[in-house]
Structure 1
Amino acid sequence: MGTVRACRETSKPSTSSPPPVTTTSTSRSETVNGSHEFKIDGYSLAKGMGIGRYIASDTFMVGGYAWAIYFYPDGKSVEDNAQYVSLFIALASEGTDVRALFELSLLDQSGKDRHKVHSHFGRFLESGPYTLKYRGSMWGYKRFFKRTALETSDYLKNDCLLIRCSVGVVKSYTEGPKIYTIAVMPSNIGQHFGQLLESGKGTDVNFEVDGEIFSAHKLVLAARSPVFRAQLFGPMKDCNTQLIKIEDMEAPVFKALLHFTYWDALPDMQELVGMNSKWASTMMAQHLLAAADRYGLDRLRLLCEDKLCEDVAINTVATTLALAEQHHCFQLKAVCLKFVALPENLKAVMQTDGFDYLKQSCPSVLTELLEYVARIGEHSVIVCGHGNENILLDGSDVNGRRVKQRIF
């Protein structure tokens, strides 16, 4: 008879089976930090109150717990025979096993910053943060400073001591993977307010600007602008809020101002002025920046400043530079100075009407411009005058020869 063999195949993992899922989590520990300064005025009167008796600071909160500083003028322990002052920090609220880092400092009052500091912060701790078991638990030093040394030191001034205590409460938490995904739509509050303006419903104040009438809502304007708030609700509010006349502003500029106030976004500048022109758009941004500064709309002012930085050009840069100086737009001013000072731009800019306006309205900017031009050309600058007077650049060329260049 033949031999019958039973064979069993070893199963192999299916290549089509999904890969194993790996999840992660992270435990994080960090400190919530806070400090308190405790002034002891009349130190000499506190001496002699007795060993174990203390002066306590007011309580202060750090990391969700109340703390207090305890100062013992005659020391905390009898065995030290009142030769040392003692200093402690105590947990002043209910808590169990509160882990924290501490720093106790006696402040040098001579101005030399030679403080006496005992600190857990910034160093390796073999046993980790200190643990306070219950309310009233303390950490500190029985022999913080010898009394005789303290009383002849710069820590004591005008019979006054300054103590600073820093506390870092340890908080631990574990982060795991999100098990949900919720798509949150972007905020559309601006759209809602913008549609309210366009509908005209509920308006309760009108403005006359350059012969045109604009209707708006007092509460919206007051919420957005401190100037409108004072004008509409302040002690010196306008008596006639049914029609307020706005001087020194063009109607399209006020319309753009209202658009931003409701929509929280810039309007289409070219559509607003009715011209497909970069120059017209820049002019509108200039006027709108001034209006934003006038009504305390800081975000609008920054948006206009950003747009003007992008659109610096020969025919508008001088007026933009004057505007930047008048409304304290420091980044815009720097961009304009750099643009004007370029050799290929300087003469062209000086021939524009805007440059005459710059000389008349902001003569101090000319000095800064000259200094900027001089730095680029490595010249020393002699300013002979402003306004319609001549101004010279006096320096040396690359070969060391003396040169004078009349620029305007």
Structure 2
Amino acid sequence: MHSPNKSPLASPTSSRSVTETVNGSHNFVIKGYSLAKGIGVGKHIASENFTVGGYQWAIYFYPDGKNPEDNSAYVSVFIALASEGTDVRALFELTLVDQSGDGKHKVHSHFDRSLESGPYTLKYRGSMWGYKRFFRRTSLETSVFLKDDCLKINCTVGVVVSGIDSSRLHSIHVPESDIGDHFGTLLENEEGSDVTFIVSGEKFCAHKLVLAARSPVFENDFVNMMEEDNDEILITEMEPRVFKALLHFIYRDTLPEDDEFLEASSSSVPSLSDSLPAKLLAAADKYDLPRLRLMCESVLCKDISVNSVSHILALADLYHAADLKSVCLKFTAENLVGDMGDILRL
């Protein structure tokens, strides 16, 4: 029995303080390195802002170094806090990508030293972390990191966040959806395929139900095929590489991960309409795939320049790419006011 002078003990409670990093990365491609040289010591080329942990960040590349007194013979690279914030604590990693394919990247990582020195604190907007002597300029220009006058820098930011968490003492992690991987395997293995496409002599096996579910044009084609005893379809006016990319999207809901999409701007202006993104945009229009159209528009949008805008605008108009057309017209208004009349007549 409890003593009449004492209350019973309350049930114990618990809580947990969790400090962790919210991680994100950004790839910054610098084309025309040789033209950037001579911009001046202390002047930089900035990436687009990207968001990690609720804050905006940017990569600053100094072709002629950040400070003349101690690093004018070096290129400098920094990560800057590009949004309002005070005492933002974070870990950083800067990687200069080896473009030879050997994977011998040049990595400067604060993550590796986190146990020794802790996260770096950025006091205010414009605060930076990085290296004044990131790479000696003469060595860089003869290295595997510079290819076709192009540098590639990858930046990873880990913003430190803390909080009391009593609900995650017992939690179950749910992984990202892998349905695209499963459907992709179905396409690669050709298991259960019931239709064959012939494109310039190459054969592609697929599944009517999958294609019909994704494209109303394919659905209509298969309804018409029900009256025929033929499971082969001849595709004309399309290259095999384009049709293969089309099937990749239909099954995986992603674009192919190859250089033709990651570096669409490698195409010269005259051959822009022959690039894979442009031809896949045409396929998206033909088979009524609005998400694929937007994906291709996004890739082509990154290639807009003074020299290419009229060609891209023509593609956007031809294949009903409304968002891409809008961006082209905005670029024209901002950069080519004198020539806008000629471009609008396309």
Scaled to the shorter chain, the TM-score interval is 0.3 to 0.5
TM-score, structure 2 as length reference = 0.47
TM-score, structure 1 as length reference = 0.40
- The higher radius of gyration belongs to 1
Give the number of the structure with larger relative contact order, counting CA–CA contacts within 8 Å between residues 6 or more apart.
Answer: 2
